[in-house]
Amino acid sequence: MWNYYPELLETPVPRYTSFPTAAEFGPGIGAEDVEAALQRARGDVSLYLHVQICEKICWYCGCNTGASNKTQRLASYLDALHREIAITGVRLGREVKVRRIAFGGGSPNAISPTDFVRLVDALTLHMPLYDPAWSIELDPRTLTADWCQVMGVVGVSYASMGVQTFDPALQAAIGRVQPDTEIARAVDMLRTNGIRSLNFDLMYGLPGQTLAMLEQTLERTIKLGADRIALFGYAHVPHLIPRQRRIDGSNLPDQAQRFAMAAFGYRLLTSAGYVPVGFDHFAKPGDPMAGAVEQGTLRRNFQGFTDDQAQTLLGLGASAIGCFPDLLVQNEKNAGRYRMLLSQDRLPAAHGIRRSADDQRRGAVIEALLCHGKASLDADLATEAATRLAPFTQRGLARLDQGMLTIAPGGLPYARTIAASFDPYRQDSARRFSSAV
Ligand code: SF4
């Protein structure tokens, strides 16, 4: 049972896929920092490749992506990505083992299956791969049988599809029309070709969306056998994401309705047997993500909740973010400048932040709260946060006892806001972030 306290959700907060968040990135970080970090890297490392293109652009999307209708531009982008793979691989420390590779975007399946295989070949050639787990984000509207077969041959076993809603009117309202039959066909092809964990991205808070529409989408998702479900609240911020201007914002659910939708989704999915993962993800029992929840090994990185234990994540591609224990770094976002840097064999790091010891300490607390619902606090952090936590502890949403901060089951929708109590950068966040529900 979740109680709605609007006053606790007034201030927008980050999603905390890192700490410090990308909003704190600055220009003082560059190629030399990344070069040194690559050479220092040891042990298990994960890779993320950003494919910065989509065949069809959705109006709600805040990703750094563009339409794939310029063949030459796409070819140049892929050339640059190949170059980045090569010059990164050669700089990596000798004891590195790459055990996970994720393709995201954009829509990786906007490139041809042949181009995908070429990227896989380049990774095999230039990176120290140790039987990695392959995962990919897919657009079901443009997924072909050829693509699925190639994934099967490569051994991709984790896939995530952008579905958002099954309701045709809502799909039209957000500029992403994809009939049920198209999604069902994609699921069939993926299962036939070896995808063993399939995630559906869904959204609530869409213009004109009702609880009945959300229920229908969730029931259909369950019926199609999704192993994982991410249920995000749509953030309507056309001042930050110009393509959202095409969405009619006059009919958006208000904060109370959004809260009711998040609570409804949580109830429906957990009643259907899904294990809650953090505050907005769900996994079937037996899925590795549910296993990570049960074993207390769930983590959070730029890709969201994850069972990945690697401390280093290399981001390749324009705008991709890399994470080292003491450094967060983002590649050049502009595709033209990204290509230009790679044409000169320069690592395309553009900005980022060094993670101080204090950042790392606070980041560990924030990650633990979001992943495990509890965190052990140093005496000074407990003292510092006591006043900010009081609105939550007084309402029974969290408990602070002998340095252990625990979020109560009813406090889950406030988890991000509670986590923000430990974020010293977060004093002026009104414009930049989304609502916590
Ligand atoms: S939602 Fe996915 S398919 Fe749509 S524009 Fe964004 S990245 Fe591309």
Q: Residue 330: name the closest of 9, 91, 27, 8 by CA.
A: 27
Does 164 contact ligand 1 (Cβ within 6 A)? no
Residues in the chain: 437
Chain CA centroid to CA 334, Å: 20
Q: Whose CA is nearest to atom 6 of ligand 1?
A: 61
Neighbours of 101 (CB within 10 A): 23
Pocket test for ligand 1, best of 139, 176, 183, 206 (most atoms within 8 A of CB): 139
Task: Kindly state if the Cβ of 106 falls inside 6 Å of ligand 1.
Answer: yes
What is the signed CA dihedral for 200, 201, 204, 205, rounded to 10 degrees? -160
Nearest to 230 by CA among 163, 142, 138: 163
Structure tokens of 97?
């083992």
Q: What is the pLDDT of residue 63?
A: 87
Higher pLDDT, 68 or 239: 239
> How is residue 51 written in tokens?
């494919």
146/127 Cα distance (integer angstroms): 26
pLDDT tier for residue 369 given thresholds of 50, 70 and 90: very high
**pLDDT value at 427 more than 80:** no
Percent of the chain with pLDDT over 90: 91
pTM above 0.75, yes or no: yes
The pLDDT score that the predictor gives to residue 182 is 96
Query: Residue with structure tokens 């997924």?
Result: 143
57 Cβ below 6 A of ligand 1: yes
Tell whether ligand 1 has an atom less than 6 A from the beta carbon of residue 162: yes
Ligand 1 and 65: CB distance under 6 A: yes
Mutate to test the pocket of ligand 1, among 51, 53, 55, 61 (most ligand atoms within 8 A of CB): 61
Is residue 203 in contact with ligand 1, taking CB distance under 6 Å?
A: no
203 C-alpha to ligand 1 centroid (Å): 13
What's the first-to-final CA gap in the chain, in angstroms? Answer: 15
Mean pLDDT, residues 57-81: 87
Please tell me the predicted confidence (pLDDT) of residue 428: 56
The yes-or-no verdict on residue 1 having pLDDT over 90 is no
What pLDDT band is residue 426 in, cutting at 50, 70 and 90?
Answer: confident
pLDDT at 367 > cutoff 70: yes
| SS3 per-residue string spanning the chain | CCCCCHHHCCCCECCCCCCCCHHHCECCCCHHHHHHHHHHCCEEEEEEEEECEECCCCCCCCCCCEECCCHHHHHHHHHHHHHHHHHHHCCCCCCEEEEEEEEEECCHHHCCHHHHHHHHHHHHHHCCEEEEEEEEEECHHHCCHHHHHHHHHHCEEEEEEEEECCCHHHHHHCCCCCCHHHHHHHHHHHHHCCCCEEEEEEEECCCCCCHHHHHHHHHHHHHCCCCEEEEEECCCCCCCCHHHHHCCHHHCCCHHHHHHHHHHHHHHHHHCCCEEECCCEEECCCCHHHHHHHHCCCEEECCEEECCCCCEEEEECCCCEEEECCEEEEECCCHHHHHHHHHCCCCCEEEEEECCHHHHHHHHHHHHHHHHCEEECCHHHHHHHHHHHHHHHHCCCEEEECCEEEECHHHHHHHHHHHHHHCCCCCCCCCCCECCC
pLDDT band at 73, cuts 50/70/90? confident
CA–CA separation, 246 vs 179, rounded Å? 21
Cα distance between residue 428 and residue 102, in whole Å: 33
pLDDT band at 430 (very low <50, low <70, confident <90, very high): very low
Q: Please give the torsion angle defined by the CA atoms of residues 125, 126, 132 and 138, in that order, rounded to the nearest 10 degrees.
A: -90
pLDDT over 90 at 189, yes or no: yes
Q: Which residues face 329 on adjacent strands?
A: 322, 352
> Tell me: the pLDDT tens digits for 258-299?
999 999 999 999 999 999 999 899 999 999 999 999 999 999
Pocket test for ligand 1, best of 52, 53, 57, 203 (most atoms within 8 A of CB): 57
What mean pLDDT, rounded, does the chain reach?
95
The finding on whether 105 has its CB within 6 A of some atom of ligand 1 is yes
Atom 7 in ligand 1: which residue has the minimum CA distance? 106
User: Does residue 194 surpass a pLDDT of 80?
Assistant: yes
Instruction: Reply yes or no on whether the pLDDT at 376 is more than 90.
Output: yes
Structure confidence at residue 433 (pLDDT): 63
Distance 57 CA to ligand 1 centre (A): 6
pLDDT tens readout for residues 99-130: 999 999 899 999 999 999 999 999 999 999 99
Residue owning the nearest CA to atom 1 of ligand 1: 61
Which pLDDT value is given to residue 435? 72
- For the ranges 57-66, 169-178, 305-314, 393-402, the lowest mean pLDDT is seen at 57-66
- Choose one of 63, 177, 201, 206 to mutate for the ligand 1 pocket test, by most ligand atoms within 8 angstroms of C-beta: 63
User: Can you tell me the distance from the alpha carbon of 127 to that of 46, in angstroms, rounded to the nearest whole number?
Assistant: 11
Q: Answer yes or no: is the C-beta of 108 below 6 A from any ligand 1 atom.
A: no
Which ligand 1 atom sits nearest the alpha carbon of residue 57?
5
Task: Judge whether residue 80 has pLDDT over 80.
Answer: yes
> Which amino acid belongs to residue 213?
M
With a 6 A CB cut-off, is 241 part of the ligand 1 pocket? no
pLDDT (tens digit, 9 = 90+) per residue, 15-44?
999 999 999 999 999 999 999 999 999 999
Q: How far is CA 128 from CA 100, 190, 402, 434, in A?
A: 11, 27, 45, 38
Q: Is the CB of 54 under 6 A from ligand 1?
A: yes
| One-letter amino acid for residue 350 of the chain | A
User: Which pLDDT band holds residue 431 (cuts at 50, 70, 90)?
Assistant: very low
Q: Quick one: pLDDT band at residue 437, thresholds 50, 70, 90?
A: confident
Ligand 1 closest atom vs CA 61: 6
